[in-house]
Structure 1
Amino acid sequence: MRPHTHPAPPARRSLALRTAAGALAVAATAAGCGAQVEDGAEDARTVTVRRCGEEVTYTTPQRAVAYEGGSADKLFALGLADQVHGYVMPPANPPVSESPWAEDYERVEFLGDDLLNRELVVDARADLVVAGWNSGFSDERGITPEILDDLGIQSFMHTESCYNYPGHPERVAPFEGLYTDLERLGAIFGVEDRAAEVVADLRERVDRVREDVPEGDPVPVFLYDSGTDQPFTAAAQVPPNDIIRFAGGRNVFHDLDERWTQVGWEAVVEAEPEVIIILDYGDQPAEEKIEFLKSSPATAELPAVQEDNFFVLDYNEGISGPRNVDGLEKFAEYLRDLRTE
């Protein structure tokens, strides 16, 4: 989840496609995101969709591999379990049994609990890999869209992670990135109507929350991911920033044009947060983080700590995926209750 920027931009290249020889293709426009579809032989359906800022042509995947819960959830929300071969789930992720799509996770293969790597993808005979830039795909680990292109393996990146993708950046607000991903995946898999329904439902839920925000100044909110010497937090380019602002809060680090990033405790103290969101994941339980904030001299006097105003956000409600909206609804209710006390 924690990205590190690597400056070397990959050369622009289009995805090499293996289509059926001699298929006659007729271009048509797909619904949703302006994708161009070509239909010939049944196994030769192709569609051109943006992968971050780059136009890429895809064939319909049959053995997709998802990295982390957000990727798998997007595919399962679109009803694509039959076309998902498996998933990679690092230990930070909560158990998949807690997912709204637990039955779908049971139907596909668990491929490992390590970081995404090229060998795993090749061994799985994946024809599509879904992950984020620097949160799955990585120059350092040798698994990038460009490398997979050369191997004939298609890739799809979370749009919210594209703002600093080398060579082909794309800047989209995190929740808009979620909707965009669902529409683009819908086009890639040929389930545009289902994607439109899912996106419409999510947008309606978000609109209801925003309409119900109490009047008054936004509540200053600090998200605490981890870290003792320096805290790791959510900046402008990740879903919690939208969760906070749509619920009636103000992310005290909303002005940092990054995703997940380190800041100094001095900056947290100066921001005087009235609420602290604790990002909860497997290897660092929320209770331990709260205890640290209460016992550390640097944070013990913060307004949120003094008032015991802690909200626990599930890991998969904080990374890009349909459960972002669950997290928003819960946090908005928490802020409304706080304001009426």
Structure 2
Amino acid sequence: MLVLVAALSLAACAPAPAAQEPARPGGQAAAPQTGFPVTIENCGRKLTFDRPPAKVVTGYHPALETLLALGLADRIAGRTNFSESPFLPGQREQYDRIPEISDTIMLPQKEVMLAQGADFVLDNAMASFDAAGGYATVDELNTAGTPVYILGGWCGPEEVLQFTIDDTYTDLRNLGKIFGVSDRAEALVAELRGGLDDVKKRVEGRTPVKVLATDGGKGPVNAYGGSGITNQMITLAGGVNVLAAVKGDYTEVSAEEISAAQPEALLVSDYATLRGEDMPSSPAKAAEAFAIARNSPAAKEQRYLALPVAAQHPGYRNLLAVADIARFLHPDAFAG
């Protein structure tokens, strides 16, 4: 089962090359832009920018929609394909206008990627920078003048487990600085914090709903343990992860443990974003879990929510998804 987790650790490397100011007619360099240069740390590397990136390539869906949320569509020169994914309001139209450079959710192969001449790459994990897979590495892109930023600090397996929702706020602020739109970033952070505060007030004092977050399987079951994004979203939404004691984020759990957990509701990873993959549907994965935990309240009520897998990766969407999960778990808290 394909899940975009950070499978490779970044070795320490030299600071990314700073973008150079374009020459003015007559050979004079353009005047420095206010607020620059900017230096940001990501994955143990320092990225320095003398001006905002103007030719950006984005990887998997959450990377693109995070930049769109910051009003940066005009900076994006290329994106990957996730045409079957559910889009946030108004973003599908922007997606369609951006040139497609890969027909999968992954960045293109090395030669195609380097030929883009991008001055910035934003992605959610290290999988698209694996030399063994034929991709341009982070070091190769840096050498070509294309700094790479990984959302959520998902730079290696340990960082995936250490992720907190606050890391998304850090990403938004960092991107605001990189693109010279810190005011937009701060406004977006305030809006998202307000949304989470509203959810917290609505679910406060209510009995947490026991939730199993699953990605299918008849045993072992692909599920989400007590670390990482999914576990945090469940907690913030007024739920309790029945696998909170299981170490890890995306992991395998025995059918016996799932049966004993007695979940009251399921979150099911929805892979509609992956074209051409022979993967079970969300209803099929829910049915597998209900069959295993057939005596559970969730199975008796057939209660599940298909959660877009894009929300289970770092980016703007996972903050929005908390409200969706809360409405599913505590509908009466949002009535009226």
Instruction: Note the alpha carbon deviations across 1:85-113, whole angstroms, 9 max, x for none.
Output: 1211357x6155x6542232133112223
Task: Confirm whether residue 64 of structure 1 aligns to residue 56 of structure 2.
Answer: yes
Change (3 A) 1:236 1:71: farther
Partner of 1:2: 4
Instruction: Note the alpha carbon deviations across 1:126-153, whole angstroms, 9 max, x for none.
Output: 2211112335443543444233223321
Partner of 1:27: none
What letter is aligned with 1:293?
Answer: A
Task: Confirm whether residue 125 of structure 1 aligns to residue 125 of structure 2.
Answer: no
Q: 2:92 is matched with which residue: 83, 89, 102? A: 102
Distance 1:182 1:44 in 2: 17
What letter is aligned with 1:277?
Answer: L
Q: Which moved more, 1:112-121 or 1:13-22?
A: 13-22
Any idea what SS the aligned residue of 1:287 has? helix
Partner of 1:159: 152
Instruction: Note the alpha carbon deviations across 1:186-217, whole angstroms, 9 max, x for none.
Output: 11111000000011100100011011114254
Task: Indicate if the aligned counterparts of 1:160 and 1:171 stay in contact, CA closer than 8 A.
Answer: no
Distance 1:56 1:237 in 2: 28
Mark the runs of 5 or more structure 1 residues left unpaired by the alignment: 24-38
Task: Confirm whether residue 288 of structure 1 aligns to residue 294 of structure 2.
Answer: no
Task: Indicate if the aligned counterparts of 1:174 and 1:320 stay in contact, CA closer than 8 A.
Answer: no
Change (3 A) 1:135 1:104: same
Any idea what SS the aligned residue of 1:204 has? helix
Change (3 A) 1:128 1:4: closer
Change (3 A) 1:245 1:48: same
Change (3 A) 1:163 1:202: farther
Distance 2:326 2:268 in 1: 15
Partner of 1:82: 74
Any idea what SS the aligned residue of 2:5 has? coil
Partner of 1:311: 305
The CA deviation at 1:286 is: 1.4
The CA deviation at 1:184 is: 0.6
Distance 2:287 2:299 in 1: 10
Change (3 A) 1:322 1:11: closer
Give runs of aligned pairs for residues 114-263 of structure 1, distance below 5 A: 114=104, 115-116=106-107, 117-138=109-130, 140-141=132-133, 142-162=135-155, 164=157, 173-256=163-246, 258-263=248-253
Distance 2:20 2:169 in 1: 29
Distance 2:96 2:150 in 1: 24
Mark the runs of 5 or more structure 2 residues left unpaired by the alignment: 25-29, 273-278
Return the TM-score normalized by structure 1.
Answer: 0.81
Any idea what SS the aligned residue of 2:307 has? strand
Task: Indicate if the aligned counterparts of 2:294 and 2:300 stay in contact, CA closer than 8 A.
Answer: yes
The CA deviation at 1:256 is: 4.6
Distance 2:325 2:161 in 1: 25
Identity %: 26
Distance 1:183 1:99 in 2: 23
Return the TM-score normalized by structure 2.
Answer: 0.82
The CA deviation at 1:78 is: 0.6
- Aligned residue pairs: how many? 317
Task: Indicate if the aligned counterparts of 1:130 and 1:158 stay in contact, CA closer than 8 A.
Answer: yes
Partner of 1:266: 256
Change (3 A) 1:214 1:159: closer
